[in-house]
């Protein structure tokens, strides 16, 4: 299926009532974080059905989807990349040279068009499964130092969505038992001015504690709970017992 065929099909599913709901939910009004974003009014399962049918779309066609003004079409392009990346991560292919090349190509496209993932759902549904997973795998692009420098550049960007990528991608590294990425970027973003980053940092700290070590989470909180944003703290301690949550909030 060609990119234009996908776009025309998705446009045929337009739902104006749902479109208005989504534009409100994703804060597309003047001055809001999603200002100007345009929706067709598709539900995520509808987009995933298109992804399933188009899973073998050549990577050369993906930029046309990512550059669409329709939110759901951009999501479709991102999820096709997720699908293709995951197919190159089976145990048999982890160290396969061609699979490594394909994974690297997907990451390069993802980063080149990162600012097209310009709302939190687009980042959250793609960054952990592409960028986060790539951090843990062999790459021809560079070693762990290269990967850390790349994420540092995302974190230092003046673009909110690139910054969120650097934080949210650590969901995957924490799932695989490596807390170092989460702790590094949680500290970098701890005093970020935007509420979306407060939530992302707290969420990733919570996941790191759950997947890696609650003691590491408590160590981090002992250092930072007194001056971190309240939203971040609330998210980070969500899985703790009520008495412990109350003790941390008093700090």
Task: Report mean pLDDT in 10-residue bins for the chain, 251 residues.
Answer: 93 97 95 96 97 95 98 98 98 97 98 97 98 98 97 98 98 98 98 98 98 98 96 98 96 84
CA distance 12 to 21: 18
Please name the helix (run of DSSP H) or strand (run of DSSP E) that holds residue 167, with its range, or none: helix 160-168
Do residues 140 and 104 make contact, with C-beta atoms less than 8 angstroms apart? yes
Between the alpha carbon of residue 243 and those of residues 88, 108, 215, 224, the distances in Å are: 45, 46, 17, 19
CA distance 199 to 180: 19
Q: What is the pLDDT of residue 251?
A: 84
Cβ within 8 Å of residue 180, ≥6 positions away: 173
The residue count for the chain: 251
Q: What is the pLDDT of residue 148?
A: 98
- Write down the pTM of the prediction: 0.95
CA distance 197 to 168: 9
Q: What angle do CA 85, 89, 92 make, to 5 degrees?
A: 145
Q: What is the pLDDT of residue 186?
A: 98
Q: What is the pLDDT of residue 76?
A: 98
Q: What is the pLDDT of residue 1?
A: 74
CA distance 237 to 16: 39
């Amino acid at each position: 299926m060609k990119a234009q065929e996908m776009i025309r099909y998705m446009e045929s599913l337009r739902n104006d009532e749902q479109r208005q709901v989504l534009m409100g939910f994703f804060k597309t009004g003047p001055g809001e974080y999603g200002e100007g974003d345009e929706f067709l009014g598709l539900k995520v399962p509808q987009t995933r059905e298109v992804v399933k049918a188009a899973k073998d779309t050549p990577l050369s066609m993906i930029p046309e989807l990512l550059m669409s003004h329709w939110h759901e079409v951009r999501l479709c392009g991102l999820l096709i990349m997720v699908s293709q990346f995951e197919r190159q991560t089976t145990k048999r292919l982890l160290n396969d040279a061609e699979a490594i090349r394909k994974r690297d190509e997907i990451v390069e496209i993802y980063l080149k068009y990162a600012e097209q993932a310009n709302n939190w759902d687009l980042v959250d549904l793609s960054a952990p499964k592409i960028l986060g997973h790539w951090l843990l795998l062999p790459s021809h692009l560079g070693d762990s130092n290269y990967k850390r420098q790349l994420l540092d550049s995302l974190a230092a960007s003046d673009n909110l969505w690139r910054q969120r990528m650097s934080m949210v991608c650590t969901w995957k590294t924490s799932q695989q038992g490596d807390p170092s990425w989460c702790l590094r970027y949680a500290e970098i973003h701890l005093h970020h001015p935007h509420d979306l980053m407060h939530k992302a940092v707290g969420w990733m700290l919570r996941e790191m504690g759950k997947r890696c070590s609650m003691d590491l989470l408590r160590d981090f909180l002992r250092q930072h709970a007194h001056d971190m944003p309240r939203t971040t703290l609330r998210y980070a301690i969500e899985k703790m017992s009520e008495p412990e949550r109350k003790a941390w909030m008093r700090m």
